[in-house]
């Protein structure tokens, strides 16, 4: 096993098929953790932190080069995320070109699901991979995915309908932008009452409406995390500007946990649409039905709980679709959304009642810290001369479309 200081092995995951040669997976940009596949094990290293920090980037490059130059076990294959602009992807592409290494790119949510499969030594499963976002194979921002996974292949069976992410990263920082886009997508007229409720000027409404309509700096996002942000903004529990990633969703979970009333007191709606073998969950009915009037704080908990129930029920619909199409009754759960204990419990209760066998992370983190493990499992199956990857996505996420439903 290769060890470099101060990079330490955090978790060792045994694999049934030994690696033919050492493979290094570089993970993703936030919560970065690299992993080395060698012999009969995957070695997940301790977190390198957020690579938005230039110091963290420099340290990562030093660690990667140390592993690549190891005399006894030189790495010959690098694995990166499909997103062409993430720092680990840029670094991996550059080093592969400089050192004539094989480069493999793996889709973010495929890696999430594969990581959980590796942890439980599964060879085939459905995977619910829910998070804040990851680059999809179509160039859009995914994040509420039902996948069918084997060690050698994967397909997408379900997702949430996409909604404009108004201003890109600015929408993550300002949840009201996401609420505005959801209302517009649902066909809600932004009346003076809504303008006052959202705290927007007439100029902002005009600009944001045009952005959504024309897709100007408003990439489409399927992500479950962004759905939580938008609902928390409507409820009033989300801050105007977030202080850290996942803050609106964590706040919403906390509010929902305080509900002690009738668990069926509210029913929130969503629609299901199937197109080309993919089940799409459309949340427009929910947002179309929301009141423009502020929600009394005393009612927050019942609304927040009902929202969690609705998301869990949408997940169950997706899993049932996967079971019907594949004949499987095994599902793995991965992605940061499953750090939400209430949502996870609601989902597990419903899936167990349907006799679906559920696996989640026991030794690996649920969030992006597990990505490198999944990247290695996928790359191991592609480890031949054909796996050098040419990044195919020439369009920006905002220019991609899905078939009209």
pLDDT tens digit string along 299-347? 999 999 999 999 999 999 999 999 999 999 999 999 999 999 999 999 9
Dihedral, CA atoms, 171, 174, 176, 179, nearest 10 degrees?
Answer: 30
DSSP H or E stretch at residue 112: helix 108-120
Do 328 and 258 fall within a single domain?
yes
Say yes or no: 184 and 235 in one domain. yes
- If we measure between CA atoms, which residue out of 69, 80, 72, 84 comes closest to residue 102? 80
Q: How far apart are CA 219 and CA 280, in angstroms?
A: 18
User: What are the tens digits of pLDDT across the range 252-304?
Assistant: 999 999 998 877 778 999 999 999 999 999 999 999 999 999 999 999 999 99
Residue 113 lies in a domain: no
pLDDT of residue 234 exceeding 60: yes
> Around Cβ 115, how many Cβ atoms within 10 Å?
32
* Nearest one of 102, 89, 134 to 23, comparing CA atoms: 102
Q: Name the domain count of the chain.
A: 2
CB 181 within 8 A of CB 168: no
Whether residue 248 lies inside any domain: the answer is yes
Rounded CA-CA distance 232/216 in Å is 25
pTM of the model: 0.91
| Whole-number Å distance between alpha carbons of 165 and 219 | 5
User: Is 280 among the domain residues?
Assistant: yes
Q: What is the CATH number of the domain that holds 50?
A: 3.30.420.360
**Residue pair 143/134 in contact by the 8 Å Cβ criterion:** yes
Q: Are residue 377 and residue 299 in the same domain, yes or no?
A: no
Same-domain status, 38 and 172: no
The residue ranking higher by pLDDT, 397 or 375, is 375
Q: Report the first-to-last Cα separation within the chain, whole angstroms.
A: 51
Write the pLDDT tens digit of every residue in 149-170: 998 899 999 999 999 999 999 9
What per-residue confidence (pLDDT) applies to 5?
A: 44
Is residue 125, in this structure, part of any structural domain at all?
Answer: no
Same domain? For 381 and 311 the reply is: no
- What is the Cα–Cα distance from 17 to 380, expressed in whole angstroms? 9
Structural domain of residue 394, as residue ranges?
9-106+367-398
Q: Assess whether 348 and 371 both reside in one domain.
A: no
Residues 203 and 327 in one domain: yes
330 and 182 in a single domain? The answer is: yes
| Same domain as 381, residue 325 | no
């Amino acid at each position: 096993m290769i060890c470099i200081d101060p990079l330490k092995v955090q978790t060792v995951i045994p694999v049934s098929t030994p690696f033919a040669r050492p493979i290094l997976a570089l993970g993703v940009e936030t919560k970065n953790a690299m992993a080395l596949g060698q012999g009969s094990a995957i070695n997940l290293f301790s977190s390198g932190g957020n690579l938005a920090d230039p110091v963290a980037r420099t340290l990562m490059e030093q660690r990667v080069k140390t592993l690549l130059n190891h005399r006894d076990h030189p790495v010959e294959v690098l694995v990166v995320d499909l997103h062409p602009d993430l720092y680990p992807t840029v670094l991996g592409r550059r080093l592969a070109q400089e050192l004539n290494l094989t480069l493999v790119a793996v889709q973010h949510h495929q890696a999430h699901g594969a990581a959980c499969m590796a942890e439980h030594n599964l060879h085939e499963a459905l995977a619910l991979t829910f998070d804040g976002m990851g680059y999809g194979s179509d160039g859009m921002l995914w994040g509420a995915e039902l996948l069918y996974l084997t060690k050698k292949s994967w397909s997408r069976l379900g997702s949430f309908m996409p909604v404009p992410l108004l201003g890109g990263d600015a929408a993550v920082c300002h949840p009201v932008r996401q609420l505005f886009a959801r209302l517009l997508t649902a066909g809600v007229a932004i009346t003076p009452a809504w303008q006052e409720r959202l705290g927007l000027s007439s100029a902002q409404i005009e600009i944001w409406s045009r952005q959504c309509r024309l897709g100007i700096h408003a990439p489409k996002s399927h992500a479950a995390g962004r759905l939580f942000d938008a609902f928390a903004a409507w409820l009033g529990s989300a801050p105007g500007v977030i202080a850290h990633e996942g803050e609106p969703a964590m706040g919403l979970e906390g509010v929902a946990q305080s509900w002690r009333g009738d668990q069926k007191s509210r029913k929130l709606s969503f629609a299901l649409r199937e197109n080309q073998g993919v089940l799409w969950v459309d949340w427009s009915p929910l947002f179309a039905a929301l009141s423009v009037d502020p929600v009394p704080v005393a009612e927050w908990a019942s609304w927040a709980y009902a929202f969690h129930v609705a998301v869990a029920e949408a997940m169950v619909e997706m899993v049932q679709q996967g079971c019907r199409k594949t004949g499987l009754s095994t599902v793995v759960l991965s992605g940061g959304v499953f750090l939400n204990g209430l949502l996870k419990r609601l989902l597990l209760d419903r899936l167990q009642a349907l006799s679906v066998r559920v696996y989640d992370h026991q030794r690996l983190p649920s969030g992006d810290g597990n990505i490198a493990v999944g990247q290695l499992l996928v790359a191991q199956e592609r480890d031949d001369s054909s796996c050098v990857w040419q990044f195919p996505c020439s369009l920006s996420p905002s220019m991609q479309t899905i078939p009209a439903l």
